[in-house]
Amino acid sequence: MNASIPLAAVLGTSTEVSKSPRLFQYWMREYGLLGHYIPINVEKARLEQTLRTLPELGFVGVNVTVPHKELALEIADIVTDRAAIIGAANTLIFRTDGKIHADNTDGYGFTQNLVQGAPDFDFTAGPAVVLGAGGASRAVIAALLEMGVPKIFLSNRTRHRAETLRTVFGARIEVVEWVTVGNFLEQSNVVVNTTSLGMKGKTPLRVPLDGLRPGTLVTDIVYTPLETDLLKTARQVGCPTVDGVGMLLHQAVPGFERWFGHRPEVTEDVRQVILA
Ligand code: ATR
């Protein structure tokens, strides 16, 4: 194999459903770049061995998806601050000295999606409500705090997971009960769903939304369907909304740029390709 052609991959256990290969191949074609980006399924027990072997085969890095993001962070030799605080890695760079460098670009993807989707919105103007306290929530909270959101009302069905995130992120987080989170919508400037609720084939999000007021920015990390019930209701109320597919696209940008040498654009065309 020609070592000058970059090879990268996405590692998980169900990578056949990953949209990343299509995204990377689209960008390579778009910018006339040579390279390969392939899906690789690997079980947990073989993750470390695989990660140590891939550089020897000419791979320059990988994206990591469920369920390996936490273990990938543990295996890595060097970890960025943002990956450490999120507790998971989604982008691994295989350095020429043999070390594995782990980063997490989910929060970056979340922020860039909002900046692109609501360029004039003032995120510092009031509190945010964040629904969910899983892996995605950590990246979202880190991103919101970095954007200057003054306070986050964090709510999760399983309260102790939210309490854990309060310990991680500190006093700007206030944990609120899942059953009463609707009461906090009225005073919120931003609302984010980080749970899988509302995803096609999953349980609907049943939070009462009557408290939503026009002007609150509402976003959902679920993007199948693109317009979730949450976003539909928000739009009817007069809220600006940002759908979730851009987060997936933007989180891939740093890895693509690093491995294939060109910073790709997140355009309407690439959105359509991924949604097709
Ligand atoms: P991810 O890494 O994608 O965030 P996760 O860590 O499994 O996945 O988190 C999923 C989130 O969706 C959690 O906040 C979860 O709530 P629990 O911590 O109580 O499990 C939330 N979630 C999933 N199914 C839910 C349901 N039926 N009702 C309420 N919340 C749900």
78-93 per-position pLDDT tens digit = 999 999 999 999 999 9
Counted domains in the chain: 2
The CATH number of the domain holding residue 174 is 3.40.50.720
Which residue's alpha carbon is nearest to atom 8 within ligand 1?
134
DSSP track, the chain: --TTS-EEEEEES-GGG-SHHHHHHHHHHHTT---EEEEEE--GGGHHHHHHHGGGGTEEEEEE-TT-HHHHHHH-SEE-HHHHHHT--SEEEE-TTS-EEEE--HHHHHHHHHHHHSTT--GGGS-EEEE--SHHHHHHHHHHHHTT-S-EEEE-SSHHHHHHHHHHH-TTEEEE-GGGGGGGSTT-SEEEE-SSTTSTTSPPP----TT--TT-EEEES--SSSS-HHHHHHHHHT--EE-SHHHHHHHTHHHHHHHHSS-----HHHHHHHH-
The number of the ligand 1 atom at minimal distance from the alpha carbon of 132 is 14
Query: Is residue 220, in this structure, part of any structural domain at all?
Result: yes
If asked whether residues 239 and 125 sit together in one domain, one would say yes
If asked whether residues 131 and 230 sit together in one domain, one would say yes
Please state the three-class secondary structure of 204-240 as a single string: CCCCCCCCCCCCCEEEECCCCCCCCHHHHHHHHHCCC
CA–CA separation, 231 and 81 (whole Å): 32
Ligand 1 mutation target, pool 90, 157, 178, 221, most atoms within 8 A of CB: 157
Query: Is residue 178, in this structure, part of any structural domain at all?
Result: yes
If asked whether residues 131 and 195 sit together in one domain, one would say yes
If asked whether residues 127 and 237 sit together in one domain, one would say yes
Domain that holds residue 79: 7-105+252-275
The number of the ligand 1 atom at minimal distance from the alpha carbon of 88 is 2
CA–CA separation, 26 and 97 (whole Å): 30
If asked whether residues 216 and 234 sit together in one domain, one would say yes
User: Per-10-residue mean pLDDT for the chain, 276 residues long?
Assistant: 82 97 98 98 98 97 97 98 96 97 98 98 98 97 98 98 97 97 97 97 95 97 96 98 98 98 98 94
pLDDT at 28: 98
C-alpha 129 – ligand 1 centre gap (Å): 16
Query: Is residue 114, in this structure, part of any structural domain at all?
Result: no
Q: Hey, what are 133's tokens?
A: 């306290």
If asked whether residues 75 and 147 sit together in one domain, one would say no
2-12 per-position pLDDT tens digit = 458 999 999 99
**93 contacts 156 by C-beta, under 8 angstroms:** no
pLDDT at 4: 80
State the CB neighbour count (10 A cutoff) for residue 255: 24
The residues that are catalytic are 69
If asked whether residues 135 and 21 sit together in one domain, one would say no
If asked whether residues 78 and 175 sit together in one domain, one would say no
Query: Is residue 183, in this structure, part of any structural domain at all?
Result: yes
C-alpha 163 – ligand 1 centre gap (Å): 14
Q: Hey, what are 30's tokens?
A: 């778009």
Query: Is residue 115, in this structure, part of any structural domain at all?
Result: no
C-alpha 132 – ligand 1 centre gap (Å): 6
If asked whether residues 218 and 149 sit together in one domain, one would say yes
The residues with which 193 forms a beta bridge, in sequence order, are 131, 220
CA–CA separation, 145 and 124 (whole Å): 9
**174 contacts 151 by C-beta, under 8 angstroms:** yes
Which residue's alpha carbon is nearest to atom 5 within ligand 1?
134
If asked whether residues 139 and 34 sit together in one domain, one would say no
If asked whether residues 129 and 59 sit together in one domain, one would say no
220-252 per-position pLDDT tens digit = 999 999 999 999 999 999 999 999 999 999 999
Strand order in the sheet with 59-64: 36-41, 7-12, 59-64, 91-94, 100-103, 78-79
If asked whether residues 231 and 259 sit together in one domain, one would say no
The CATH number of the domain holding residue 92 is 3.40.50.10860
